[in-house]
Chain A
């Protein structure tokens, strides 16, 4: 006789518990973000892990409401942010499947990710087809929005054309004499695009300068002895490189002792991220960029000071370009989502509303203002900066001196103009101070 009683009691308790749980769950509705970056492989150390580290400290600050205004609301519009991290390693096919998993299995509201240009090109059409919100935070190829039209896919960082335009403008502004230049870039989309952009930019600003030795080692080569010999056998005034990560570090460690940096002015389009690790092994006087006004070249502001201190305290190293780009993506997302929520009576916005809110928007990041100005408001432009390395014995770190910042309109193509066409037109429509 006691069994039915027990069963009904149990059912009642279970119903009560479920009711309490469901109300708790309702009260704790979260904003789910899938973050995809390299957690393993060759891009992890330089780009993936620093970016994910940046996301972790920033999301923690957002969830505690500890970020400076206008990012000081808890989570996103009061909803705690929940993050799922996914490894970008494994190739484009795997990433397409992982993206579907994030949207369909994990039910994320937004995916923020992708360092590899090949991955970006592969996943963007999938998100568009699914009508799901996707922010590309890092990859550089201009082709994503120049060859396609998207409504739900955004890139919150400038594309790679800016880097080499800024480098060549810096050389001109600083009156660096260049009658010839050599090149060493990786033999894949990033390296080849960078090489082409630099050659076209130099043709505008140094029409008499001729490209000489043109090396295209494979990605992850590690050994550059032969390439360095080739560069030194026909030394040019300038040596340009868009190498990054372990490849760049190995190149510097091998080329430095052989005197390449003394024989030729070396310019690195994306070299800032190797400075903390290399320390005094980084030759003085190297001209380099960071793919934005990031790290040591970031414009001073309370927001940048907060970001620098927060990241440095958490990881014992200052933030370089990758965490900065992640931060500007998450900050743009937070503001766009909160704006859309305000228009949706405080409720979580639909993908359509979120996209409308981010499209064409502007926000302040630690690296300055980000404007979704190109490709119908889906592609960002931003200011950038170039500087020259100098080891500080006192601070025991590499500093950047002679830093020059360039306005976004000076180094990015105008609206509806493809990068290559813009470079070939002699930077038509560029607005430089």
Chain B
């Protein structure tokens, strides 16, 4: 009984939403993703760092929106035809917060085996994993809110 349950949990933890961010493909832990919506209208916050696009309204509440391509230092890609905002929960378990990630496109949901991830610099970038002939940047969203 124990092994199948453990396997299921591991598989769930390894499930990621792939999104396009500039020249990169990034994997967001699916458990942290609350919603994917067409790019929200963002109101800028003057003086903010480039990673912070501004504030949007989502579900009647203010939502900070970060530019995912800037977060992962990706060069801008071509103009996206269907840009999205991925609404995620970030931060440690005892202080989760909602955040929007502006991305060029939502691609697909995939399983990324944990042992295929080559550890990255730590922090927001958990590591990189080969997937379908390209390298996917696996993100650690918990690091964003802390």
Q: Is the pairing of A and B real? A: no
Tell me the B residues contacting A by CB distance below 8 Å: none
Tell me the A residues contacting B by CB distance below 8 Å: none
